[in-house]
């Protein structure tokens, strides 16, 4: 008998499994899903039995024997292996590498002593009475908690986008539910990972609250998947391979087990809107401050007079939000907020200093600089957002000499929180990194200082991203605190729709449809970096042509875009180029596997990306 074994080891992506001979003495005991030890070169490693077959008549190469079966009860089920096989094909990883991420840390001595319970037999459940895919919106924390309690049917997985949200989800469960709840996130120690993984594997916990990697845990009797804050981009594992998106994996699990999925949130993702969910009307809207009138009144500070007064008079916390900087430079009018955009991609141009031109990275359209604004005839300039440092200086200048506040700055480079006195009121200046540090119950003023910079980022999701951030603040802020948004462009559809969300969603959805962006298409991006810019470009062109020829021959419903340089172009020592494939929403699951086969080994595979520009 031959066993096809997945080595639990980082291996090259084309390796699926290795063949091993099952020794005569083990043929009665060997099962699919078992953990075994196998000799590999000069060592012995762990592996999982993927499948079994008869010994071929003629063996062309020498096959080694399995060393031992570690547990007689299989560690994982066939269905679990089936899921892993599909995921490794979607995300361009060997199954072994994937298992290394998804299985419990393989500590030899511990493994020998654990007890595995039998895996309940696989049964695809009858279609549930309710909807397979549901959505609920909550208006406040109380409603959020009550609904979560009801949704927790043993066993339930609740996914949250950030670790910092786990305590509040936990707190909303009943005492009884809390008793049988486990947490899963990337900061668990190896020891905690081991015991939690095993408890979940053995079906000993009822509820699991986790961040995105929790979707890879071995669930054998999952009754419900809840994806909370479903609109949040952090449900995507975007920064390293495998670049998976929890919603895609949840839907795959659903296909196999008929597990109901509930999306929930205060805000609603555009994909959910397109599926028929109506965003709720908010009771309250932020105060929009028109910065143009500040400028015409000769106030050139980063703060409007209202905001300056609010900051200098309060005894409580203040949060000043800024976008992350250095993302992309755009060109526009500082007086009316006009920016130049590419008409075929519907995304803002990026200003290129060297050639002094405006360019669309995606379709290569370029335009020369115009010096007067087509809208208001003012002069046009390079738009630069203020950094947290500049804002800090301005805050210090505005505050009276003797003030009570601690000034705290949090962005990609700085995090001052550890040095500050907990009792002092704070002025927190920060990018999105600062959000978990806001003390909502003590915060009197929330100010988005320079929101326009975010709205001209050439990403299809820039507008919705900002929309959800505003909604997040509305959900979290205490009812008596004020929320200001400073903008040069108060006519922008986003601000105009704050009291009428459907207007914003309809507008955005129409554009996404017209320009073929998600959720109306399934995008996968493939990108490649090289120390030499020309070599990176040549490789991208070469791969594009090969893929295109292959596509034409196979007549697949996939649209490939020409390679473009990413932004920043030079990142982590390499120049980056990207190719986008647009797939059909109903066939992407197979098309992705098909197309990935033609992607060279050193390319990055990023299905369902949250950014098209940044490597």
Give me the residues that bind Zn ion (CB under 5 A), please. 333, 335-336, 338, 342, 344-345, 360, 362-363, 365, 373, 375-376, 378, 567
Question: What minimum distance in Å lies between the beta carbon of 517 and Zn ion?
Answer: 12
| Cα separations in angstroms, 391 against 85, 449, 519 | 50, 9, 37
Residue number, 450 or 477, with CB nearest to Zn ion: 450
CA dihedral for 234, 471, 321, 167, sign (positive or negative): negative
Residue number, 416 or 565, with CB nearest to Zn ion: 565
CA dihedral for 448, 450, 454, 456, sign (positive or negative): positive
Tokens describing residue 423: 């009792």
Question: What minimum distance in Å lies between the beta carbon of 581 and Zn ion?
Answer: 17
Element (H, E) at 130: none
Question: What minimum distance in Å lies between the beta carbon of 335 and Zn ion?
Answer: 5
Question: What minimum distance in Å lies between the beta carbon of 511 and Zn ion?
Answer: 14
d(CA 485, CA 321): 10
Residue number, 192 or 561, with CB nearest to Zn ion: 561
- The pairing of strands 207-210 and 156-159 is parallel
Residue number, 196 or 294, with CB nearest to Zn ion: 294
d(CA 300, CA 310): 17
Q: How many helices (H) and strands (E) does the chain have?
A: 18, 27
d(CA 202, CA 120): 10
Question: What minimum distance in Å lies between the beta carbon of 146 and Zn ion?
Answer: 47
Question: What minimum distance in Å lies between the beta carbon of 569 and Zn ion?
Answer: 5
- Beta strand extents in 230-329 (DSSP E only): 261-265, 287-290, 317-321
Residue number, 19 or 561, with CB nearest to Zn ion: 561
- Beta strand extents in 292-383 (DSSP E only): 317-321, 330-333, 350-352, 357-359, 366-368, 380-383
d(CA 497, CA 467): 10
575 in Cβ contact with 531 (< 8 Å):
yes
d(CA 593, CA 377): 52
Residue number, 129 or 371, with CB nearest to Zn ion: 371
Residue number, 261 or 350, with CB nearest to Zn ion: 350
448 in Cβ contact with 484 (< 8 Å):
yes
Residue number, 116 or 363, with CB nearest to Zn ion: 363
Residues in the chain: 615
Neighbours of 346 (CB within 10 A): 15
Residue number, 253 or 342, with CB nearest to Zn ion: 342
Residue number, 218 or 615, with CB nearest to Zn ion: 615
3-state SS, residue 278:
coil
Question: What minimum distance in Å lies between the beta carbon of 516 and Zn ion?
Answer: 12
Residue number, 287 or 343, with CB nearest to Zn ion: 343
Question: What minimum distance in Å lies between the beta carbon of 390 and Zn ion?
Answer: 23
Question: What minimum distance in Å lies between the beta carbon of 330 and Zn ion?
Answer: 11
Question: What minimum distance in Å lies between the beta carbon of 344 and Zn ion?
Answer: 5
594 in Cβ contact with 605 (< 8 Å):
no
SS (H, E, C) 19-48: EEECCHHHCCCCCCCCEEEEEECCEEEEEE
d(CA 242, CA 255): 21
CA 237 to chain centre: 5
Question: What minimum distance in Å lies between the beta carbon of 579 and Zn ion?
Answer: 15
């Amino acid at each position: 008998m031959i066993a096809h074994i997945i080595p639990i080891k980082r291996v090259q992506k084309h390796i699926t499994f290795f063949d091993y001979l099952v020794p005569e003495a083990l043929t009665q005991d060997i099962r699919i899903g078992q953990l075994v030890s196998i000799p590999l070169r000069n060592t012995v490693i762990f592996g999982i039995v993927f499948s079994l077959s008869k010994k071929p008549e003629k063996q062309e190469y020498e096959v080694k024997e399995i060393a031992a079966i570690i547990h007689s009860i299989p560690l994982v089920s066939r269905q679990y292996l089936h899921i892993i096989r599909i995921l490794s094909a979607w995300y361009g990883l060997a199954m072994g590498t994937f298992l290394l991420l998804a299985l419990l840390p393989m500590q030899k001595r511990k493994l020998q002593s654990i007890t595995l319970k039998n895996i309940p037999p696989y049964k695809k459940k009858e279609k549930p009475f309710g909807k397979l895919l549901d959505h609920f919106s909550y208006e406040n924390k109380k409603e959020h908690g009550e609904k979560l309690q009801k949704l927790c049917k043993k066993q339930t997985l609740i996914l949250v986008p950030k670790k910092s949200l786990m305590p509040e989800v936990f707190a909303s469960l009943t005492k009884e539910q809390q008793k049988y709840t486990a947490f899963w996130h990337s900061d668990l120690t190896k020891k905690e990972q081991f015991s939690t993984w095993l408890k979940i594997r053995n079906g000993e916990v009822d509820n699991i609250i986790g961040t995105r990697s929790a979707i890879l845990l071995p669930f054998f009797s999952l009754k419900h998947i809840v994806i909370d804050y479903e609109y949040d981009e952090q449900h995507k594992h975007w920064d390293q391979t495998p670049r998976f998106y929890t919603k895609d994996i949840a839907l795959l699990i659903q296909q196999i087990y008929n597990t109901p999925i509930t999306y929930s949130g205060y805000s609603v993702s555009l994909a959910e809107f397109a599926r028929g969910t109506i965003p709720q009307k908010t009771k309250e809207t932020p105060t929009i401050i028109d910065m143009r009138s500040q400028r015409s009144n000769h106030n050139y500070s980063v703060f409007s007079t209202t905001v300056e007064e609010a900051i200098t008079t309060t005894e409580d916390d203040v949060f000043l939000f800024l976008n992350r900087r250095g993302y992309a430079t755009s060109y526009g009018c500082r007086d009316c907020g006009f920016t130049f955009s590419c008409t075929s991609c519907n995304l803002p141009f990026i200003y290129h200093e060297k050639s002094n031109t405006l360019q669309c990275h995606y379709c290569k359209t370029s335009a020369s600089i115009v010096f007067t604004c087509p809208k208001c005839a003012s002069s046009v300039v390079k738009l630069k957002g203020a950094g947290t440092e500049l804002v800090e200086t301005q805050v210090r200048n505005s505050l009276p000499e003797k003030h009570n506040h601690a000034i705290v700055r949090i962005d990609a480079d700085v995090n001052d929180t550890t040095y500050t006195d907990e009792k002092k009121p704070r002025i927190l200046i920060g990018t999105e990194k600062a959000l978990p540090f806001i003390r909502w119950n003590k915060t009197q003023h929330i100010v988005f200082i320079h929101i326009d910079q975010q709205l001209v980022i050439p990403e299809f999701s820039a507008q919705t991203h900002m929309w959800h951030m505003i909604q997040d603040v509305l959900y979290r802020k205490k009812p008596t605190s004020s929320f200001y948004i400073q903008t040069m462009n108060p006519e922008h559809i986003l601000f105009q729709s704050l009291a009428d969300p459907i207007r914003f969603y309809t507008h955005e959805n129409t554009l996404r449809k017209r320009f073929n962006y998600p959720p109306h298409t399934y995008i996968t991006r493939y990108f490649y970096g090289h120390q030499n810019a020309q070599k990176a470009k040549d490789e991208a062109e070469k791969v594009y042509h090969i893929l295109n020829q292959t596509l034409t021959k196979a007549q697949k419903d996939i649209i490939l875009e020409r390679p473009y340089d990413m932004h920043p172009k030079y990142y982590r020592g390499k120049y980056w180029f990207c190719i986008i494939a647009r797939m059909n929403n109903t066939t992407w699951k197979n098309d992705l596997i098909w197309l990935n086969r033609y992607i060279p080994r050193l390319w990055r595979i990023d299905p369902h990306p949250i950014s098209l520009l940044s490597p």
